[in-house]
Structure 1
């Protein structure tokens, strides 16, 4: 029997990157996984990949976390879940004085308010867990990504507060550093690799993170019954470099 045998898990943002890696790892551990995201095509592809890799069925749900009514409607009929992980976000970036206010509001609506709405509406079994994904800019600001740092800090504060409010459900946050996900695919391949190499050279870990690195931290928080109100850094040492 695996650690999460027959436990119900919801991964919001499970169609790519960190979310997809988390869904795959939880399925390997025996969980009954549901992945939710905006694109049915991407969801179907990831679900099929997980089925082939693990031999386990994966459910899918089309969900836009910026759609208030849609989030409420879906979660009213879904669950309860034993573990929930939220990694979905679309966050335009740039210096505060250059980033259009509409883009700034969209970033906050997606990553912070999206997580808030899911946390507010989802049903989680007692003793289960809720895990957010923030980012190391919360504690290591960057002058070109001021808003992202502020949003990540807000997500972490939300996690600590909800750990009190939702107890005995455990609430934690994973804070990744630079992770090699499809987020970077819009860059030229050569420029992307040069950026990764330069970043890795500055990190104590001497490499860029992979989605699976973050997924392992999410699994740890879900299966450790004494972990709540925590923020776990998975940043290769980025906050101390």
Structure 2
């Protein structure tokens, strides 16, 4: 039933404030994950970043504000142990995934590449959500990260397209399965981070120029753009089961990558 206008006027206004909330970012020590961690911290959250190894704050001053937990998303026992050690918290963001180019081609001599990619992205996301859910406080949320390839197939990226589509379907299923925990996915476009360092510098600069010339936003995406979207999904209590595109309009244009 719709509330009368007088009651609606006194309803709480959602804000981006995360003061007093504890956030766990799996893969939060670099690239998009670091952008999410920094954005949540800026909004007042206590942030735990999880990855396969701890990093000295002396070597990485940008991590000094965060707690660190060791977690390998391909090892379910390690995932379970990590979340049991973390204890109660409010929001989970899973940004971790395999390295660029690790998936292999469709007609590769064997299927090790795609199996590894599925294990590291889809099943890893599944395991994180499965073992985090019992520890999420009331009003909690889970956010996954995919990419534009999940919505528009590209030559040579069959494993990526299929895996991203599977993660997005998983988030919608879990929005029902885990309700009232909210579950969403962010679908970034080209985000200019060190993720691209595996490619030759000339190739990366060509991609950057194509993005600037072709994407409606006319600029490169940043990890902070995705971090802003993640904070929105954590703090808006009425958004669940959705895919939020943060791509500068990538899917509206044809460009070559």
Give the structure 2 partner of residue 61 of structure 1.
69
Of the three residues 143, 151, 170, the one matched with 1:158 is 170
- Aligned mates of 1:45, 1:107 — CA distance in 2: 29
**Distance (whole Å) between structure 2 residues aligned to residue 2 and residue 205 of structure 1:** 23
Deviation (angstroms), 1:79: 2.3
CA contact (8 A) 1:93 1:144 kept: no
Find the counterpart in structure 2 of residue 54 from structure 1. Answer: none
The answer to whether the Cα contact below 8 Å between 1:170 and 1:229 also exists between their aligned partners in 2 is yes
Root-mean-square deviation over aligned CA pairs: 1.9
Mapped to 1, the partners of 2:56 and 2:198 lie a distance apart of: 17
Q: 2:103 aligns with which of 93, 115, 123?
A: 93
Gap change, CA 1:42 and 1:221, over 3 Å in 2: farther
Match of residue 49 from structure 1: 62
Which segment is superposed worse, 182-191 or 121-130?
Answer: 182-191
2:123 alignment partner in structure 1: 113
Shift of 1:76: 2.1
Matched, 1:16 2:30: yes
Say whether residues 1:142 and 2:154 are aligned partners.
yes
Given that 1:133 and 1:176 are in contact with CA atoms closer than 8 Å, whether structure 2 keeps it comes out as yes
How many residues of Structure 1 are paired with residues of Structure 2 in the alignment?
Answer: 235
- Please, which moves more after superposition, 218-227 or 138-147? 138-147
SS at match of 1:95: coil
State the partner residue of 1:226. 238
The residue number in structure 1 matching 2:249 is: 237
1:155-189 Cα offsets, whole Å, 9 max, x none, are 01000010111111111000011111211112232
Are 1:84 and 2:92 an aligned pair? yes
Q: 2:81 aligns with which of 68, 73, 76?
A: 73
Q: Secondary structure at the match of 1:85?
A: strand
Could you list the runs of 5+ residues in structure 1 that have no partner in the other structure? 52-56
| Shift in Å, 1:146 | 1.2
Identify the residue that residue 26 of structure 1 maps to in structure 2: 40
2:132 aligned with 1:124: no
| Correspondence for 2:212 | 200
The Cα shift of 1:192 comes to 1.4
2:57–2:63 contact (8 Å) kept in structure 1: no
Any idea what SS the aligned residue of 2:118 has?
helix
Partner Cα separation in structure 2 for residue 14 and residue 68 of structure 1: 18
